[in-house]
Amino acid sequence: MVRPIWMETERYGEYSKAGEFVYDHPFLWGSRRIGPDLHRVGGKYPHLWHVQHMEDPRSTTPRSLMPAYPWTLEAELDFEAIRGAIAAMAKLGVPYGSDEIENPVALARLQAKQIGLEIEAQQGPAGLESKQIVALIAYLQRLGKDIQTPPEASPKSSP
């Protein structure tokens, strides 16, 4: 989480709000941060950057001490497992719509295909749409995107 202090908001952006974690089961806060805060990482980099960074963090960030996760580009994604996960989340009160509850696997495959095509369009490798890396990218690109920029305050009409 991005803490509400200047040096955090300068580096990572808007501080985290409680409501942004309300549907996390389990919540994924850590007690110790080693790398940069990831709560506002959604949209910061193209998908291909994440593919390269997870495969070999030193390829995007030369002196990174982050471990590599190369198997995420090879391991198959268990799409069927999404069905049970969504049903459990819905039971816990996450407001999924009927489409998500009834067709979670088809929707996840569609999203994975889209991400795979975008990686290819960014000159990345083909065939990642069935791999675990696309689920991780889908998650990372969503992070911190729930709150919207507040509208400009309108000038006061009366004192």
Using CB under 6 A as the criterion, which residues of the chain lie in contact with ligand HEM when the complex forms?
Answer: 34-36, 38, 41, 44, 57, 61, 64-67, 69, 136, 140
Residue nearest to ligand HEM (CB): 35
Q: For ligand HEM, which is the closer residue by CB, 66 or 73?
A: 66
Q: How far apart are CA 110 and CA 113, in angstroms?
A: 5
Nearer to ligand HEM, 99 or 145 (CB): 145
Nearest-5° angle of CA 51, CA 57, CA 62? 130
Residue 125 beta carbon to ligand HEM: minimum distance, rounded to whole angstroms: 18
Start-to-end Cα distance in the chain:
38
Residue 17 token pair: 């709000």
Q: How far apart are CA 39 and CA 16, in angstroms?
A: 7
* Closer CB to ligand HEM, 89 or 135, in the complex: 135
- Beta carbon of residue 134, minimum distance to ligand HEM (angstroms, whole number): 13
Tokens coding 147: 């709150």
